[in-house]
Structure 1
């Protein structure tokens, strides 16, 4: 039997590590979600979140780094290729949720919660859910 090349072993280790990190992030997000948040509420937030991200990305009063993160996020969401393919049930969209939550948390930390309030296009209840997810 031939030995496995080093790069194959390293790639396998990296892939396994990335999967563990994704699972850990999913568990953290699941535990951090509000108790009253249902799948239906989350689905209703999607159009408002997309408009929020677009508005924040276009706000020239925000720091450039924040806007760049948001533009990259919009590009990632528009790409047909994801880290975890969307055709895989549940977990296929989970990577998008993790990435959106992480980017919005960093935006809130850098720009402040007032930026969310200024640009939020949805209901006050939806804004409260987004605030909770953003910390």
Structure 2
């Protein structure tokens, strides 16, 4: 079972790299580029929308949301583009993944605002 999960994770990583290159390809339709950019940016982001330290929910995005997003993105991209990007993805997987610090910063900002709002609400409740 552990090997099966490991293979699934490797496949997911490969699909993210395929989407990364499909986004950059001029033959990809604009709507697929937009959606793919969002999925890839989230996947490469150093910070999750739901932090992993939150029990059960922390892994929800990694196990459910991200694969669904990848699946939809792969369906939007023409097959010939995906075939070309698969070759590039194999090469890229050997070198490591890029990071999207802009999206990471946005996610940190959103979480910071939520925490600040929560602290203000608690402070006003006790005063």
Structure 2 length-normalised TM: 0.51
What's the C-alpha RMSD, in Å, of the aligned pairs?
2.8
Partner in structure 2 of residue 115 of structure 1: 81
SS of equivalent residue, structure 1 residue 38: helix
Q: Equivalences for 1:1-135 in 2 at 5 Å?
A: 38-77=4-43, 78=45, 80-82=47-49, 84-88=50-54, 91-120=57-86, 121-122=89-90
8 Å CA contact 1:108–1:115 kept in 2: the answer is no
The 2-side partners of 1:65 and 1:115 are apart by: 15
Q: Of the two structures, which has the highest relative contact order with CA contacts closer than 8 Å and spacing of 6 or more? A: 2
The unaligned stretches of length 5 or more in structure 1 are: 1-34, 123-135
- Corresponding pairs, count: 86
> Could you tell me the TM-score, scaled by structure 1's length?
0.49
Gaps of 5+ in 2: 91-127
